[in-house]
Amino acid sequence: MSRRQPNIVFITTDQHRADCYSFARSDIATPHIDSIAARGTRFDRCYCPSPICQPARASLLTGVLPHTHGVRDNGIDLPDDMIERGFAAQVKKQGYKTAMLGKAHFSTQHTFEPTGRPECRYTMADHYDGWTGPYMGFDYLELFIDGPVKWPYWTPPQGLHFTRWLDETGAGAHAGKRYDSGKRPASAAQQVHTPDLPLNWHTSSWLGDRATDFISRYEDDDPFMLWVSFPDPHHPFDPPSPYDRMYDPQDVDLPKHRDLDLGRRPWWHSASLTGTPQTNEEFREIRENLSRQKRLTDRQLRDITAAYFGMISLVDHNVGRILAALKAKGLEDDTIVVVSADHGEFLGDHGLLFKGPMLYDSLIRVGLIAAGPGIARDCKVDQVVSTLDLAPTFVDLAGGTPADYHGQSLRPALETGTAQDDMRNHALIEWGLAASRCGIDLDLFTVVTRDYRATFENLSGDGEMYALKDDPYELNNVFDDPAFAAARAEMEAIGSTRPDDARREPLPIAGMC
């Protein structure tokens, strides 16, 4: 079978570090994603445009930076005026059928009041029975919105497609209690446990089912653009059996630098961990108790890492199922598969967990792997790129002409397996935090090049900079070091190339996340 336009399957994970694939480290197994890298091209210096879910996902869809699409932090809805700019709407113009399965998070779930969006806790019930889109440029959707096997425990008619599936199987009434009744490690590691749930109830298994079903049922003559969005390995770290036992905590490698060295960092590192979120009592308690890490022992970090790896390997298993479904349908040679993530995870680096306004490499660098017709095989590109580049790349691969994107099409690099002379060799990252998150207002702007990472806090004028070639663990802040004044000026000059299209008025905060 041969198509003029390839199908495109875009697979993303949530909070997945760039070094947590088996082609990057020996203590984790991701054979199916590795197989994509082996028959395709991977980018080892890919950065996300924001290290937090909603802004990063809005940028994945639209190809523009957060202050332009307006979702500067979690809790802000992607506005309708950005839908047409998204790659889903653009590839539809090239004749593609578009679908999204799994976690969208283009709109706020935990809102202050009803918003009318399908992801809003107050109005998701209106989209429970029979709704499959359209939404954000996608024709067809089946979505996971947290529970009932994650926090919080949505019950019918809330939770959209995953909850409805659980309820139809007769499992919905028991899932929440069984999730809570699982075992926890003796180390009392934060947010780690094995839920007492069968493997097929897990969201990654359900998503593998939905993706393989979509592929097996597809009979349209038009090509498809399918986004399969896994909600793992985002915390809580809760792999089901047998993936909870796949990794021995004693065998995982811990970061070389895992001290909470706040005294060596800019002021906002410490302030963000100790400030009181300025929001309602419900959201403040969640921010302080669930989104803020506690002090870590090595034993706890080993338990967390083993669980995190188990979640990744379960996702990888379902990636294998997707690849098998494409082969069984005869679409393997007609489909480009792209794997990436919204952002990373600290996983103990600098004594930190989860994510926060400390933009270390482990949080802002993600995997980017692609394979399929026209893509160079077994190649590695070291050029600095961004997931901002994916929207224009998808439009280009679909036969369109990318326009109005902050990213650039990676198609030439994918076809040759090498960096191109006209490619930008830097990435820009933005995060605008209100005091409702951690008690302080911050406006962080980061520039990453081959040799440096500089973060500017625009409200105070402070910053940090690291010489990555000689300081890969980002230990020595040279922001105010006279010996690096020229390098800092160069980073500022690169930052000034950001397009002048940021929103003049900030979008309203709709809720927490």
| pLDDT tens column, 405-446 | 999 999 999 999 998 888 889 999 999 998 878 889 999 999
Closest among 301, 296, 295, 184 to 252, alpha carbons compared:
301
CA dist list (Å): 314 to 39, 221, 232: 21, 32, 9
Q: Is the pLDDT of residue 180 over 90?
A: no
CA 350 to centroid of chain Cα atoms: 21
CA dist list (Å): 466 to 271, 425, 471, 495: 21, 17, 7, 16
Q: What are the DSSP calls for 63-128, one per residue?
A: -S-HHHHS--STT-PPPGGGTTTSHHHHHHTTT-EEEEEE---SS-SSBSS----TTSTTTGGGGS
- The span from the CA of 364 to the CA of 464, in Å, is 15
- The span from the CA of 318 to the CA of 211, in Å, is 9
Q: Is the pLDDT of residue 279 over 50?
A: yes
Closest among 92, 83, 75, 172 to 128, alpha carbons compared:
172
Does residue 233 have a cis peptide bond before it, meaning omega lies within 30 degrees of 0? Answer: yes
Q: Which amino acid is at 235?
A: H
pLDDT bracket for residue 152 (50, 70, 90): low
Is 205:321 a contact under the CB 8 Å cutoff? no
Label residue 365 exposed, middle or buried (CB < 10 Å: 0-12, 13-18, 19+): buried
- The span from the CA of 296 to the CA of 282, in Å, is 26
> What phi and psi, each to the nearest 5 degrees, are found at residue 55?
-60, -40
Strands (E), 163-272: 224-229
Which pLDDT value is given to residue 2? 41
pLDDT in tens, 322-374: 999 999 999 999 999 999 999 999 999 999 999 999 999 999 999 999 999 99
Closest among 419, 415, 418, 392 to 405, alpha carbons compared:
392
pLDDT bracket for residue 148 (50, 70, 90): low
CA dist list (Å): 19 to 221, 252, 368: 38, 13, 11
Q: Average pLDDT for residues 236-258, to the nearest whole number?
A: 96
| pTM of the shown model | 0.96
Mean pLDDT, rounded, of the chain: 94
Closest among 363, 373, 292 to 338, alpha carbons compared:
373
